[in-house]
Amino acid sequence: MAEVATRAIGAPVRRIEGRAKVTGAARYAVEHDPGEVAYGWIVQAQVARGKITDIDDAEARSQPGVLHVLWHGNAPRLEEVSDAELAVFQEPRVAYRGQIVAAVVADNPEAAREAARLVRVKVHEEPHDVGLRADHPHLYKPDKVNPSFPSDTDKGDVDAALARAEVTIDHTYSTPAYHNNAMEPHATLARWDGDRLTVYDSNQGAAAHRAPLAKAFGLEPEQVRVLAEHVGGGFGSKGTPRPQMIVAAMLARISGRAVKLPVTRQQMFAFTGYRTPTIQRMRLGATGDGRITAIEHRVFEQTSQIREFAEQAATPTRVMYATDNLRTSHRLVRLDVPTPSWMRAPGECPGMYALESAIDELALAVGIDPIELRIRNDADAEPDSGKPFSSRNLVACLREGADRFGWADRDPRQRQRDGRWFIGSGVAASTYPAYQRDAEATARVQPDGSFRVGIAAADIGTGARTALTQIAADTLGVPVERVRVDIGDSALPRAGVAGGSMGTSSWGAAVAKACEALLAEMERGGSEAHADTKAEIEAKKDLARHAFGAQFAEVRVDGETGEIRVSRLLGVFAAGRIVNPVTARSQFIGGMTMGMGMALFEESVMDRRYGDYLNHDLAQYHVPANADVADIEVAWIEEDDPELNRIGTKGIGEIGIVGTAAAIANAVHHATGLRFRALPIHLDGLVGAGT
Amino acid sequence: MVDPQRAAITLAINGAEQHLEVDTRATLLDVLRERLDLIGAKKGCDHGQCGSCTVLIDGRRAKSCLALAVALDGSSITTVEGLADGDELHPLQAAFIDHDAFQCGYCTPGQICSAIGMLEEARAEGAELTPEAIRERMSGNICRCGAYPNIVAAIAEVAE
C-alpha cells in the first residue's frame, strides 16, 4: 500500500449531508415523490398461533378510494424466499401475533388505514407458547450461532477446575426482549416500470436487499433497484429485508401504481426484528488471589416457529479472560413469537452484561478491586482459539478510564450517601470483533477535476458518507470538498450491509483501493478505476481481531423512591484508527446511551395470555430521553494495528453499547448493596433501599 | 351535497397562504408530507410520543401528528423548511451541524422546531436555561441515536 498523507482522516469533518438533514431537504424512503402514488396499510394477525379460515374483505373494498385488499387467497405466488418472514400471503398459517395477514392499498392514507380496520380475519386459534424458560422441554442446540460461530465450545476441564477452585461464582442473569426502535419506522416505496422494480426502502444495505427481492419476484438482480440514500437509523433491524418491502412491491404490481407502505411504530414490535430475551448461567472459578481458573457461560434464548435466529451471547466470553478451562453453549427454543434478529452488538451486548456482572461479583468475593481483577486476568492470546491478538488494549482502556474517572478516590465500601441519595460507581469491560467484508468501489475524475466515488454502502446515521469521503480525499491527496461519494443505491458497486461495525473497514478499504487505482490510471491517461478487496481479505493472517473498551458509571439512587439517576458515564475504547473524531464520539455516546436504556428503561413485555408484546409504542417502551442523559464522556486509545485493513479501523458502531449495562448495574450494587441479575433494573426492587 | 369527509381550509405555511381541501381525518402531519411535499416534519410514531413531527403552530411548538388539519383553519404553520433565510441557515440549524447534534437526522427537524418553540417559552417566562433545564424542556423529542449531549450543547450556544 502506498504511503498516504493523512489530512482528512482524523480531522473533525462535519457530516457531508448535515445541511440536508437540518433543513428538511434529506429524503428518506417514502418521502420520495414518484408521481401518482397509492398508499398501503398492513393488517396483522390477532392470535399467536393458528390457521386463517377466511378473510372477509368486502366492507374494506367498498370504502371510497380503496383499490385492492391482498391476502393469501388472492395474492401472487412468490418464487424463491429463503427467509420465511418474507413469505407474506403465501399460506394461511399464523406463526405469531402481529404477523402480516392482509394489506390494503388505497388512493390516500386515510382510506387505506380505515379499510385495514375493516378487514375481517377469521382464524382457527390454537394454543400458543410464548414463554422462554431455561428448563423448557423443547430447548435444542442450534448448528451454529449468528453469524457462523460454533454453538458450543469446551476447552480444558471446566468441571474439575470448578471443583478445585478456591472461590466460585454461580449466578443466572437475564435480559428481556429489546426492540431496536430506530426513529424512522421501516418503510418502502415500490414502483414497477414494466418488469423492472424500483424500491426506496429504509434499510442498512441496498445491495443486500436487492437479491432477496429479485428472487422473491423471479427477477434478475439487474431488474431490481433498491435506493436508500438517507436512513433514519436501524441498529440492526434494517440489516435484513423486512416483509413490508415484499408487501409494497406486491401492492404496487397489483394496483399499477407506485405504493408507499410505511410501517407503524406499533407494527414494528411484531415483524421488524428485536433482541431475543436471554437467560444466562455464569459459573466462574478462581484462586484466592483472583486468578480465573474456569469459566462456563450457558445461554438460553428464543426463536420463532418459522426461522432460526441464534444470538451469539456467549461468544464474548471466548475472547475476554485468560483461563485454561472454558466452556460456552447456546440453547434455543422455538416459540410462537416473532423471529428475533440483530440489534446493536447482537451477542456481545447481552453476553457481556452477564460476564461483566459475574466478574464484579468475583472481585467482591476475592476482595480485589474490579479493575485490578480484570488486569490480572488479561489474556495474551484469544482464550478459546489460542490465536494471537492483532492488538488488545483492554488494560490501557481500564487504566486510562480509571484516571479520567477518578477511580483511585473511590471508596470500595457500599452505600455511601449524599442526603437521601445513595451514590455508587461501577466498571465493566467492552469488546466487539473487528470484522471486514469484501466490497467493490469505483472512482473517477470529472472533467472539472473533482472526483466521484461510488459504492453501495449505507449511512444510517453512522457518518459513513463522511468517513468514506475523508478516506477518498486522503488517498487522492485532495481536500474533501473535491470528492463526492455516492452511496445507498444497489446500482452502485457491491457492498455489504451496515452491520457488524464493519462499514468503514469494509467500504473504506474498497474506496481507498479504488482511489489508488484511479491515481495509477490517471498517470496512464485514464479517468476511471474499479477495485475489489476480495483477494486482500482472503490473504489476511489468521489472527484474533477485536476492539476493547472500559466503561465507568456513577449512579445516584434515591433511598426512598428507588429512582436511579446515571450522573456520569465514561467510555474509553481501543478501536483502531478513528477516522472522524466528531462522528466517532457521537457513535460511542449513542451506543452508551442505548446501553443505559438497556440497563434501566427498556423492556418488551410479553403478554403470555395473548402472545403479544404489550408495550408496543414509545409511550410504554421507554428509550432514554434527553433528561436521562446527564454527563457522558468518551475517550479512545489510538491504536496503530497494521493487521486490520488498509484503513486501520476496528469499527465503533456497536462497542459503545457493550458493557454499559453491566457498569450501571455494578454501580447500583456499589450504591445500594443490592445485586440485580435481571434487566432492566426496576424501581420496585430499590424502593426503601435506604431503610 | 357537502361531502362530510372533505373540508376546505386555509393555512399559512412558511409564510405562504395555502387553500386546501382536506380529508377531515387527515392530520396536519399527513397534509404537510403527502399533500404539500413538506417532508421535513417526520413521522416517527404518529401518536405524539416521539416529537419527530414537531412544527410551530402560531409560533408554539406542537406535534403535527396529533393535530387534525381541519381544526387548524386559519392557522400559521412553520416547518423546518421555513427556517433558513435563503442560503443562510437559522442559528439553530447551523449549531446542530457544528455540534454534530444528530446522526440519522430523522428526529432533527422536530428537535430544531421544538428548540425554537422552547427558547421562546423560556424567554416569555424569563426562565434561566441551564443545561439541566434544556434537557428537561427538550425531553418530548426522542433521539434514538443518542445525540442528546450534542443537542443540548447546540441549543445552549444559541440560547446565549
Domain A32-127+181-271 in the same topology as domain A18-27+435-538: yes
Q: Give dist(CA A202, CA A189) in Å, integer.
A: 9
Residue in chain B lying closest to A594 (CA): B146
C-alpha cell at A182: 430506530
CB A341, CB A302: distance < 8 Å: no
Residues A148-178+275-434+543-685, CATH architecture: 2-Layer Sandwich (3.30)
In 3-state terms chain A splits into helix, strand, coil percentages (rounded to 5) of 30, 25, 45
Where do the H-state alpha helices sit in A119-205? Answer: 158-164
Q: Is B147 on the interface with A (CB under 8 A)?
A: yes
Please name the residues in contact with B19: beta carbons below 8 A apart, sequence gap of 6 or more. Answer: B8, B9, B10
> Which chain A residues are within 8 Å of B138, Cβ to Cβ?
626
Residues A32-127+181-271, CATH architecture: 2-Layer Sandwich (3.30)
Model confidence over B131-142: pLDDT tens digits? 999 999 999 999
Please name the residues in contact with A367: beta carbons below 8 A apart, sequence gap of 6 or more. Answer: none
Residue A390's φ and ψ, nearest 5 degrees, are -65, -35
Beta bridge partners of A427: A552
Interchain contact, B23 vs A14, CB within 8 Å: no
C-alpha cell at B160: 446565549
Residue numbers in chain A where pLDDT is lower than 70: 1-6, 691
C-alpha cell at A519: 491515481
Beta bridge partners of A440: A532
**Predicted TM-score (pTM) above 0.95:** yes
Looking at domain B91-159, its CATH superfamily turns out to be [2Fe-2S]-binding domain (1.10.150.120)
Structure confidence at residue A547 (pLDDT): 98
Model confidence over A464-506: pLDDT tens digits? 999 999 999 999 999 999 999 999 999 999 999 999 999 999 9
CB A521, CB A529: distance < 8 Å: yes
Q: Is B87 on the interface with A (CB under 8 A)?
A: no
CB A334, CB A303: distance < 8 Å: yes
C-alpha cell at A597: 436504556
Burial of residue B59 (CB within 10 Å: 0-12, 13-18, 19+) is: exposed
Interchain contact, B47 vs A265, CB within 8 Å: yes
CB B143, CB B102: distance < 8 Å: yes
Q: How far is B133 from chain A (nearest CA, A)?
A: 9
Interchain contact, B143 vs A626, CB within 8 Å: yes
CATH top class, domain B6-81: alpha beta
CB A457, CB A498: distance < 8 Å: yes
ipTM greater than 0.90: yes
Closest CA to A190 of A122, A124, A255: A255
Cα–Cα distances in angstroms (integers) from residue A264 to residues A187, A188, A268, in the given order: 9, 12, 6
Q: Give dist(CA A689, CA B8) in Å, integer.
A: 60
Where do the H-state alpha helices sit in B20-147? Answer: 28-30, 91-98, 108-125, 131-137
Question: Residue B44: which of A184, A462, A627 has the nearest Cβ?
Answer: A184
Q: Give dist(CA A187, CA B158) in Å, integer.
A: 34
Length of chain B: 160
Q: Give dist(CA A208, CA A225) in Å, integer.
A: 11
Cα dihedral value A95, A343, A116, A261, nearest 10? -130
Q: Give dist(CA B83, CA B79) in Å, integer.
A: 7
Task: Enumerate the domain spans of chain A.
Answer: 18-27+435-538, 32-127+181-271, 148-178+275-434+543-685
Interchain contact, B80 vs A627, CB within 8 Å: no
Q: How far is A522 from chain B (nearest CA, A)?
A: 35
Structure confidence at residue B3 (pLDDT): 79
What one-character DSSP code corresponds to residue B138?
T
Q: Give dist(CA A601, CA A589) in Å, integer.
A: 17
Question: Residue B146: which of A25, A590, A630 has the nearest Cβ?
Answer: A590
Q: Give dist(CA A561, CA A564) in Å, integer.
A: 9
Q: What is the mean pLDDT of chain B?
A: 97
C-alpha cell at A640: 496503530
Residue A443's φ and ψ, nearest 5 degrees, are -140, 140
Q: Is B138 on the interface with A (CB under 8 A)?
A: yes
> Which chain B residues are within 8 Å of A618, Cβ to Cβ?
44-45, 47, 49-50, 142
Dihedral sign, CA of A107, A113, A119, A122? positive
Cis peptide preceding A147, ω within 30 of 0: yes
> Which chain B residues are within 8 Å of A591, Cβ to Cβ?
146
C-alpha cell at A396: 490501557
Task: Enumerate the domain spans of chain B.
Answer: 6-81, 91-159
Length of chain A: 691
Residues A18-27+435-538, CATH architecture: 2-Layer Sandwich (3.30)
Q: Give dist(CA A412, CA A76) in Å, integer.
A: 66
> Which chain B residues are within 8 Å of A617, Cβ to Cβ?
45, 47, 49
Structure confidence at residue A2 (pLDDT): 45
Residue in chain A lying closest to B108 (CA): A22
Interchain contact, B149 vs A632, CB within 8 Å: yes
Interchain contact, B139 vs A583, CB within 8 Å: no
Q: Give dist(CA B64, CA B28) in Å, integer.
A: 5
Structure confidence at residue A53 (pLDDT): 98
Q: What spatial distance separates the first Cα and last Cα of chain A, rounded to whole Å? A: 65
Residue A517's φ and ψ, nearest 5 degrees, are -65, -35
Question: Residue A618: which of B45, B109, B132 has the nearest Cβ?
Answer: B45
The 3-state DSSP class for residue A470 equals helix
Q: How far is A383 from chain B (nearest CA, A)?
A: 33
Residues 38-57 of B with CB under 8 A from A: 38-47, 49-50, 52
Q: Is B143 on the interface with A (CB under 8 A)?
A: yes
Closest CA to A34 of A188, A221, A185, A224: A188
Candidates A14, A21, A117, partner chain B, best to mutate (most B CBs within 10 A): A21
What positions of A carry a catalytic annotation? 654
Q: How many C-beta atoms surround the C-beta of residue A88 within 10 A? A: 27
With b meaning 16 or more CB within 10 Å and e meaning fewer, what string describes B1-33?
eeeeeebebebebbeeeeebebbebbbbbbbbb
Q: Is B135 on the interface with A (CB under 8 A)?
A: yes
Interchain contact, A183 vs B83, CB within 8 Å: no
The 3-state DSSP class for residue A534 equals helix
Question: Residue B93: which of A22, A586, A627 has the nearest Cβ?
Answer: A22
